[in-house]
């Protein structure tokens, strides 16, 4: 054994990683053992879910090559008769300090322009094309009623159990419209596109130019639509273990969507340099983009949710890549106009 640690360089690193992995694997196998847990199904129906969600968004963070922002927003969802899901959302930056381009413009803008706060709005729907059940598994974390009083949690991660469950799978046609407003850095745009801007063509216009060395900012607004496909996996399982564990629930609603984005309208507001309106027409716009996104929430009256996207957003050419993360807390779920059957007790 004394020669093991005389290994040098990559050999020693590989050996240590293999040793740690082996210890971890043995510990996991020892921890799992052959323990069994009996349980009683209480409910398993992924069609019986809330049909209205109000999702407050205290945090989103977006890295957009055109602008970096962080802020808040909200979203509503309505599921209509297991046929169509409607959605609308809006978000904006917390303040000037979390809207990078607006903050830079307030401190360094050398042209006369009105850079507005970042704003994004979207509304759309998902038409169910295929909606059926598949046999799957529900993964649930086990929590004893006296769990926090024990010392077990100090040395081990919580146990979990997997049980057979119905999984509702939906494939839908994802359609809608979107709008966003953001500030843009003209020096960045002109450098990327290798451009020099001059005045709007008019008689007697002075010979002035804006190039990539100019500290100039402008406001841009874009609107259009998206079309794609959405895949959803829905669980709604409740079970009671026979041991002294709390009630177990797996009611995740998880969505994956892939969209083509088309924005025919991309407008850059006029700017004035030394009192002269500059010609912004040479700036190239890209009207087509795409996105891939995920979203998750739970079929409860009060819970939380999450979402994320990555893609290429139409706007100024070469500056469309973006990635985004968002958190929803709280998420309120309900069933408007819920019908309750009354049964006379014998």
pLDDT one-digit tens code per residue, 291-331:
999 999 999 999 999 999 999 999 999 999 999 999 999 99
d(CA 184, CA 302) in angstroms, rounded, equals 39
Evaluate whether residue 5 is within a structural domain.
Answer: no
Evaluate whether residue 119 is within a structural domain.
Answer: yes
Backbone angles phi, psi at 31, to 5 degrees: -70, -35
pLDDT one-digit tens code per residue, 18-37:
666 665 554 544 444 445 66
Residues 160, 39: contact at Cβ < 8 Å? no
d(CA 314, CA 289) in angstroms, rounded, equals 5
pLDDT one-digit tens code per residue, 214-234:
899 999 999 999 999 999 999
- With a CB cutoff of 8 Å and minimum separation 6, the contacts of 250 are 138, 139, 140, 165, 235, 236, 237
Evaluate whether residue 339 is within a structural domain.
Answer: no
Evaluate whether residue 11 is within a structural domain.
Answer: no
The count of structural domains within the chain is 1
Evaluate whether residue 4 is within a structural domain.
Answer: no
User: Would you state the structure tokens that stand for residue 40, as one six-digit string?
Assistant: 């009683």
pTM: 0.82
For residue 191, the enclosing domain spans 40-334
Q: Where are the alpha helices (DSSP H) in the chain?
A: 9-32, 100-108, 152-155, 186-193
Sole residue written with tokens 């169509």: 84
DSSP string, 80-108: ETTTEEEEEEEEEESSGGGBHHHHHHHHH
């Amino acid at each position: 054994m004394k020669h093991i640690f005389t290994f040098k360089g990559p050999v020693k690193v590989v050996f240590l990683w293999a040793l740690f992995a082996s210890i971890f694997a043995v510990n996991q196998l020892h921890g799992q053992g052959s323990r069994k847990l009996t349980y009683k199904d209480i409910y398993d129906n992924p069609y019986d879910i809330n049909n209205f969600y109000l999702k407050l968004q205290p945090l989103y963070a977006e890295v957009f090559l055109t602008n970096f922002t962080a802020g808040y927003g909200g979203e509503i969802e309505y599921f209509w008769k297991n046929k169509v899901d409607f959605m609308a959302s809006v978000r904006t930056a917390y303040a000037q300090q979390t809207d990078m381009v607006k903050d830079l413009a307030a401190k360094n803008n050398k042209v006369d322009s009105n850079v507005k706060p970042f704003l994004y709005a979207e509304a759309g729907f998902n038409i169910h094309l295929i909606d059926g059940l598949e046999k799957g598994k529900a993964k649930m974390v086990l929590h004893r009623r006296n769990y926090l009083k024990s010392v077990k949690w100090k040395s081990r991660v919580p146990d979990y159990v997997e049980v057979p469950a119905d999984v509702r799978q939906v494939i839908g046609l994802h359609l809608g419209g979107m709008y966003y407003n953001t500030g843009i850095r003209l020096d960045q745009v002109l450098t990327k596109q290798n451009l020099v801007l001059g005045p709007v063509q008019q008689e007697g216009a002075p010979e002035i130019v804006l190039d990539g060395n100019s500290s100039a900012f402008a406001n841009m607004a874009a609107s259009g639509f998206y079309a794609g496909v959405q895949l959803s996996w829905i669980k709604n399982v409740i079970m009671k273990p026979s041991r002294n564990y709390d009630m177990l629930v797996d009611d995740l609603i998880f969505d994956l969507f892939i969209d083509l984005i088309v924005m025919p309208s991309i407008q850059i507001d006029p700017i004035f340099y030394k009192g002269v309106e500059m010609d912004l027409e040479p700036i190239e716009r890209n009207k087509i983009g795409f996105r891939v996104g995920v979203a998750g929430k739970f079929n409860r009256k009060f819970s939380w949710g999450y979402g994320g996207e990555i893609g290429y957003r139409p706007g100024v050419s070469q500056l469309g890549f973006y990635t985004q993360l968002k958190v929803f807390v709280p998420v309120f779920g309900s069933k408007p106009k819920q019908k309750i059957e009354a049964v006379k007790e014998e």
